[in-house]
Amino acid sequence: MSILSRKRNAEFGVFGSCLKNKFKPLHVLIPNLHELYTTELERLNLTIAEVLEAAGSDTINGKTLGDILPGILERAHLRRFQRNIYDQFEPVIKLLNV
């Protein structure tokens, strides 16, 4: 029995080990967003989706976006960040649609 198997049995018991091997849980990793964008989103109380939906506008719900979020490169960065998270759900969706 390998060290990993012993550790798994110690943590989950034999039943938990069998479940983990059978179902192979999937993980979604949420990367860190640059602190400049995070601070600006929190300050304006906005989500990434709201900023991306307001493409070309300098205001959202009467709030001025300031100098950081309205730029094309900034929105591209937010779009990639969001897409990276959504792409990780593809295996989960495929598994659920079986």
Same domain, 21 and 35: no
Is the separation of the CB atoms in 48 and 82 below 8 Å? Answer: yes
Same domain, 54 and 75: yes
Same domain, 67 and 47: yes
Q: Is the pLDDT of residue 50 over 60?
A: yes
- pTM, whole model, 2 decimals? 0.63
Same domain, 43 and 22: no
Same domain, 40 and 65: yes
Task: Give the pLDDT of residue 5.
Answer: 59
Q: Sorting pLDDT into bands at 50, 70 and 90, what band is 83? A: very high
Task: Give the pLDDT of residue 82.
Answer: 92
Q: Sorting pLDDT into bands at 50, 70 and 90, what band is 93? A: confident
Q: Is the pLDDT of residue 61 over 80?
A: no
Tell me the helices (H) and strands (E) count for the chain, helix number first: 5, 2
- How many other CB atoms sit within 10 Å of the CB of residue 44? 18
Same domain, 9 and 39: no
The total number of structural domains that make up the chain: 2
Q: Look up the domain containing 5 and give its range.
A: 1-26
